[in-house]
């Protein structure tokens, strides 16, 4: 959970300070929503007694669990989605 919070802070720091108020609010909401969705996947992993490696990498010990890969991919998918939105920001905007 701490790694996810650190990732959230890094994503938030990529919101341009010069972005118009509504755009900045939208981007903060995107970060909050996507990280919260990733947190739900991570919580499901932990509730099932599973763990993840650094940077949300799969651990071979849990590979046999039927939903392990699904939950990990969910975490990664939400974080990638957020990063994609932030990457679309025009320079200096």
Task: Give me 67's structure tokens.
Answer: 């939903």
Check: CB of residue 1 under 8 Å from CB of residue 42.
yes
In a domain, 92, yes or no: no
Measured distance CA(27)–CA(21) in Å, rounded: 10
Look at residue 12 and tell me if it is in a domain. Answer: yes
What are the structure tokens assigned to 92, written together? 């200096």
Q: Is 93 among the domain residues?
A: no
What pLDDT is recorded for position 1?
A: 87
pTM of the model: 0.88
Residue 47's domain comprises 2-87
pLDDT at 33: 97
Residue pLDDT, tens place only, 33-91? 999 999 999 999 999 999 999 989 999 999 899 999 999 999 999 999 999 999 987 75
| DSSP conformation letters of 22-59 | HHHHHHHHHHHHHHHHHHHHHHHHHHTT----GGG---
The number of folded domains in the chain is 1
pLDDT for residue 91: 57
Q: What is the pLDDT of residue 93?
A: 46
């Amino acid at each position: 959970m701490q790694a996810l919070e650190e990732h959230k802070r890094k994503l938030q720091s990529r919101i341009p300070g010069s972005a118009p108020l509504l755009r900045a609010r939208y981007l903060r909401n995107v970060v909050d929503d996507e990280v919260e969705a990733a947190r739900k996947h991570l919580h499901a992993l932990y509730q099932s007694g599973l763990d993840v490696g650094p940077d949300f990498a799969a651990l071979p010990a849990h590979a046999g669990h039927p939903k392990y890969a699904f939950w990990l991919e969910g975490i990664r998918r939400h974080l990638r989605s957020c990063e994609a939105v932030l990457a679309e920001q025009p320079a200096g905007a």
